[in-house]
Chains A and B, each alone.
Chain A
Amino acid sequence: MSGPVLLVLRLLITASIYAFLGWALWALWRDVQQQSALLANRKIPTISLNIRPAREELRVSHFVQPEILIGRDLAADVRADDETLSARHARLTYHHRQWWLEDLQSTNGTFLNRERLYTPTVVVSGDQVDCGSMTFTISLATESINPPTQKIPSQLDDLD
């Protein structure tokens, strides 16, 4: 009889859809497990800035977020009411297991160890940064001082 034969085939069709979905979900689950295991070993090292703004007292700030904005802007993380500072002056970002300093086309420029900064550059503990008349030194938590394990991309476009 044609009916029972086709019924078996129809059930197989349904089974094959769910085999597809089940397989995909199983692979996804394993992927998530792997990813979380990888990420658990990766933490943003705390960055501490010893800030010496002009005409103000020295202060130390600790950051755990991956992006720090320096400027006069109200939204900036390191702020100073200083005319030599641009609204969005410079930015520290953590990626590729490094902290990077980037000048945001500020009027007076950003200086790393007294050299003017034109491209995003890796910073390490002890580096001195000058933004306008504000100066700060960087100190990183110990585990991130390892030498870079990854090849640094030569060009970093598309990073707003």
Chain B
Amino acid sequence: MQRLLQPPPTRIQLQSRLLITAAVFLFLYATVLTLSPAARERTWDTAYRWTHWLGYASWCFSIGMIHWQVRRKAPESDPYLLPVAALLSGWGLLTIWRLLPDFGLRQAVWMILCALLVFLGLRKPGLLRALRRYKYVWLVSGLLLMSLTLIFGTNPMGGSQRLWLGCCGFYLQPSEPLKLLLVVYLAAYLADRMPLKLRLFTLLAPTLLLTGIALLLLFVQRDLGTASVFIFIYASSLYFASGRKRALLASGALILLGGLAGYFAFDVVRLRIDAWLNPWLDPSGRSYQIVQSLLAIANGGILGRGIGIGNPGLVPVAHSDFIFASIAEETGLAGTVGLLLAIGLFTARGMTIAISAANRFQRLLAAGLTTYLSAQSILIIGGNLRLLPLTGITLPFVSYGGSSLVVSFVSVLILMQISLTEEEEPAPLPMTQPYRLLPALLGLGLLAAALVNGWWAVARSPALLTRTDNARRAIADRFVMRGSLLDQHNTPITVTLGESGDYTRAYLYPDLAPVTGYTHPSFGQAGLEASLDNYLRGLQGNPASLIWWNQLLYGTPPPGLDVRLTLDLELQAQADELLGDRAGAVVLLNAKNGEILAMASHPSYDPNRLDQIGETVAGSPSAPLLNRATQGQYPPGEALSPILDVLNIRMEKEIQSLYTSFGLYETPDLRMPVAIASDPKEPLLVSPLQMALAAAAVSGNGVRPAARIAQAVNIHPQGWVILPPNSGPVEALPPADARSVSQALNIPDTNFWQCRGQARRDGSVYSWYLAGTDANWQGTPLAVAVVLEANRPDLAESIGQKLLGTAVE
């Protein structure tokens, strides 16, 4: 209580303290932005960002100038408005600079222009009276400017909406000042007429006419977001003046009806509403913007990725319509809640000024301006958050855009002028309801925005961030070392080369491409690169605390872990050489523990050249991307007939039961993409891997092992940690049966058994060859399966025999 007794700071003292806090905030912001490349590349030796300090300097200059003028001319004006406007505009300016330095420079110039306007405006105490007196002049000139866009309109961003008037690199969007002028006009007109409470419609005719003209212009220009802001301004002004809730309800109905009519009449509206209702249907097309915005917000999380460390540039028009998403990504929920609170503070102060205004005109003007700025903020923030349909309007003070910034600062100027008259007795307030209900509505809007932001940033964040259209994963790959794929003797197969910021994936053994797959920024991931992604990306195997810490510090996963495969590159090279350019697949595995020693699938492609050949191979009829060894589906045909003969199996039912115990109706469970096994009720299709496992059951004394491709992962500091198979071995045949099969099918003078056969389907002929070590073999039992997409059983046999021969040596 002691502190309460101290004299409170004067208004100008309070304003200067708040401005200093805002300046400190922006200083820290700019500092982090300068240092951010160091965190991205995880080294101090990097190119730092400096240019945005020019933006900071121009902000300091602008705000300092206004503050100096307020101290001289209007020390008793409201001390909160300028600091909030300064905080938001500086935050916006630096965010724009961080995204697009050229646009940041332009915004800085506009900022100084705004400061000059406010500087001059504060010297004109008759400003409010002039606004009231010449209300028609202002509004009509605004409408004229707006209608000029019909003839001379341009779009500096090259879009189809021609909403700007431009000359010599200087562009004005007349719909922005028109909003302000409409508020002024309505306040002046209604303040003059409102005490006469009767004949509402005759009274409103002129305002309806002028607002109607404005709306018509906007509809012709397809600027529907601004049109809805206009309807809202009109409705709230009427409500403030008359206190009739009907005004609000009618305009709500009008916006709804307009939206519905627009849905059927304008493509733009339909697109926006469809994208709002169900963005997940077309995330790469119509709802690309909103989905990317949500991804940015999700990436922000609670604390944000850090200024300059996130990737808000992935959202289209991030500096203008989607600046809220950028802020959400880099400062997180903590930052955006602060932003929403600042808007709430502005709204509360504006309403306080309105209530204590000295006359009805000033009250309506203050209330109208506050509602307009606040509602527009909620509308576009809601659009960014998918709380409301997306409208192409700016976030006042924050978004890029000179017209918007000027109008926002002129609004602050007017509000400060009105607050100066607080010295006088407030005008009588006959109806308090509008001044309670509308601020409450706006507050609810801000609260809803904060809650929805939390929903995307916390609850839905993990699900959103793993989406394949989240380009942040591919960007993280450029900055964080990805784990290597090694063969069983630790010979590298696929590695990451280069420096942080410029890491690229190199495929040292391109023939293995269908098996190891690729990881590519635009084609995504395939093969082992996809199925082992969590290890290679460091999200699995590393302690959770390390992953969390890296995510917090850098917004990326920790450096990836190396994975050792069961493949033997020597055997692999021979398999590839033997298969040559024939379409087919070879699988060689250890029949005891299921380790895959060689897996070839041809035709292959060179993943190092995916940039150039990606489109071609993806559409190629020979399907080089397909791993035929595990995903290829071939009819077994006669391939297993010799075994059936040895076991004397003739009945259809018995055959199916043997096939079942061989695992032909069972999807192999290993850490790579495989084809789903056939349903027993449908014609049987098998992959070479399944056939190799069946052969392994013969060679392994009737026990069918579980296949393995990933052997171990190199975790610091433990070293190589074995990745156990996903399932266990299965008893497929009685050992006696397995022995009799391998003896019956034995190749004379060797320890091998073999069988081969043809299969036909849809006019194509396939050749199968299965082989393995027999029961007398003392070493590691091996099994091999070969399939050729041609009628060449002899060739299949020679490939299998040669490979097996090399493998036992």
Q: Which residues of A contact B (CB under 8 A)?
A: 1-7, 9-14, 16-21, 23-25, 27-28, 30-31, 33-34, 66-67, 75, 93, 95-96, 153, 158-160
In whole Å, how far is B126's beta carbon from the nearest beta carbon of chain A? 12
Given contacts A13-B307, A20-B87, A160-B359, contact A2 B42 (CB under 8 A): yes
In whole Å, how far is B258's beta carbon from the nearest beta carbon of chain A? 34
A34 CA / B21 CA spacing, docked (Å)? 24
B24 partner residues in chain A, CB cutoff 8 A: 16, 19
Does residue B728 face the partner (Cβ distance < 8 Å to A)?
no
Interchain CB contact under 8 A, B428 and A10: no
A66 partner residues in chain B, CB cutoff 8 A: 428
Does residue B22 face the partner (Cβ distance < 8 Å to A)?
yes
| Interface locus among B25-33, B167-175, B510-518 | B25-33
Q: Which residues of B contact A (CB under 8 A)?
A: 4, 8-9, 14, 17-18, 21-22, 24-25, 28-29, 31-32, 35-36, 38-39, 42-44, 79-80, 83-84, 87, 191-192, 195, 197, 303-304, 306-307, 309, 331-332, 334-335, 338-339, 341-342, 345, 348, 358-362, 424-425, 427-428, 552-554
From B18, B80, B335, B424, give the contact of A17 (CB < 8 A).
Answer: B335
Given contacts A20-B87, A66-B428, contact A6 B25 (CB under 8 A): no
Interchain CB contact under 8 A, B197 and A158: no
Interchain CB contact under 8 A, B334 and A14: yes
B36 partner residues in chain A, CB cutoff 8 A: 6
From A17, A24, A31, A75, give the contact of B25 (CB < 8 A).
Answer: A17
Interchain CB contact under 8 A, A93 and B428: yes
Given contacts A20-B25, A24-B80, A158-B359, contact A9 B32 (CB under 8 A): yes
Interchain CB contact under 8 A, A20 and B83: yes
Specify the main secondary structure of chain A where it touches its partner. helix
Q: Taking CB as reference atom, which chain B residue is nearest A158?
A: B359
Interchain CB contact under 8 A, A10 and B307: yes
From B31, B332, B334, give the contact of A9 (CB < 8 A).
Answer: B31
Pairs of residues from A and B, 5 with the lowest C-beta to C-beta distance, nearest first = A3-B553, A2-B38, A17-B338, A95-B425, A16-B25
Given contacts A9-B28, A13-B28, A160-B191, contact A23 B17 (CB under 8 A): yes
Q: Taking CB as reference atom, which chain B residue is nearest A12?
A: B28
Interchain CB contact under 8 A, B331 and A3: no
A7 partner residues in chain B, CB cutoff 8 A: 306, 552-553
A4 partner residues in chain B, CB cutoff 8 A: 553
Q: Taking CB as reference atom, which chain B residue is nearest A69?
A: B195
A24 partner residues in chain B, CB cutoff 8 A: 18, 80, 83-84, 345
B424 partner residues in chain A, CB cutoff 8 A: 95-96, 153
Interchain CB contact under 8 A, A10 and B32: yes
In whole Å, how far is B741's beta carbon from the nearest beta carbon of chain A? 61
From A3, A27, A153, give the contact of B42 (CB < 8 A).
Answer: A3
10 interchain pairs, CB-CB under 8 A = A2-B38, A3-B39, A3-B554, A6-B309, A10-B32, A16-B21, A18-B338, A33-B4, A67-B428, A95-B424
A75 CA / B430 CA spacing, docked (Å)? 13
B339 partner residues in chain A, CB cutoff 8 A: 17
In whole Å, how far is A73's beta carbon from the nearest beta carbon of chain B? 10
Interchain CB contact under 8 A, A13 and B32: yes
Interchain CB contact under 8 A, A10 and B197: no
Q: Taking CB as reference atom, which chain A residue is nearest B79?
A: A27
A33 CA / B6 CA spacing, docked (Å)? 13
Given contacts A2-B35, A6-B309, A159-B359, contact A16 B28 (CB under 8 A): yes
A30 CA / B427 CA spacing, docked (Å)? 24
Interchain CB contact under 8 A, A30 and B309: no
A66 CA / B87 CA spacing, docked (Å)? 40
B38 partner residues in chain A, CB cutoff 8 A: 2, 6
In whole Å, how far is B430's beta carbon from the nearest beta carbon of chain A? 8
In whole Å, how far is A92's beta carbon from the nearest beta carbon of chain B? 12
Q: Taking CB as reference atom, which chain B residue is nearest A10?
A: B306
Known contacts A17-B334, A28-B80, A158-B359; 20 additional CB pairs below 8 A are: A3-B554, A6-B35, A10-B306, A13-B29, A13-B32, A14-B335, A14-B338, A16-B25, A16-B28, A17-B331, A21-B341, A21-B345, A23-B18, A24-B18, A25-B345, A27-B79, A27-B80, A158-B361, A160-B192, A160-B427
In whole Å, how far is B83's beta carbon from the nearest beta carbon of chain A? 7
A27 CA / B43 CA spacing, docked (Å)? 43
In whole Å, how far is B64's beta carbon from the nearest beta carbon of chain A? 17
A19 partner residues in chain B, CB cutoff 8 A: 21, 24-25
Given contacts A19-B21, A21-B345, contact A14 B331 (CB under 8 A): yes
A66 CA / B335 CA spacing, docked (Å)? 45
In whole Å, how far is A103's beta carbon from the nearest beta carbon of chain B? 16
Interchain CB contact under 8 A, B304 and A10: yes
Q: Taking CB as reference atom, which chain B residue is nearest A21?
A: B341
A95 partner residues in chain B, CB cutoff 8 A: 424-425
In whole Å, how far is A98's beta carbon from the nearest beta carbon of chain B? 10
Given contacts A13-B25, A20-B87, contact A27 B14 (CB under 8 A): yes
B332 partner residues in chain A, CB cutoff 8 A: 14
Interchain CB contact under 8 A, B309 and A20: no
Interchain CB contact under 8 A, A158 and B331: no
Interchain CB contact under 8 A, B43 and A2: yes
Interchain CB contact under 8 A, B25 and A27: no
B331 partner residues in chain A, CB cutoff 8 A: 13-14, 17
B39 partner residues in chain A, CB cutoff 8 A: 2-3, 6
B28 partner residues in chain A, CB cutoff 8 A: 9, 12-13, 16
A4 CA / B335 CA spacing, docked (Å)? 19
A14 partner residues in chain B, CB cutoff 8 A: 303-304, 331-332, 334-335, 338
A75 CA / B196 CA spacing, docked (Å)? 10
In whole Å, how far is A150's beta carbon from the nearest beta carbon of chain B? 10
A31 CA / B13 CA spacing, docked (Å)? 14
A18 partner residues in chain B, CB cutoff 8 A: 338
A6 partner residues in chain B, CB cutoff 8 A: 32, 35-36, 38-39, 306, 309, 553
Interchain CB contact under 8 A, A9 and B35: yes
A6 CA / B553 CA spacing, docked (Å)? 8
Q: Taking CB as reference atom, which chain A residue is nearest B9?
A: A27
Q: Taking CB as reference atom, which chain A residue is nearest B309?
A: A6
From A5, A10, A34, A96, give the contact of B8 (CB < 8 A).
Answer: A34
A44 CA / B567 CA spacing, docked (Å)? 94
Q: Taking CB as reference atom, which chain B residue is nearest A5?
A: B35
In whole Å, how far is B66's beta carbon from the nearest beta carbon of chain A? 17
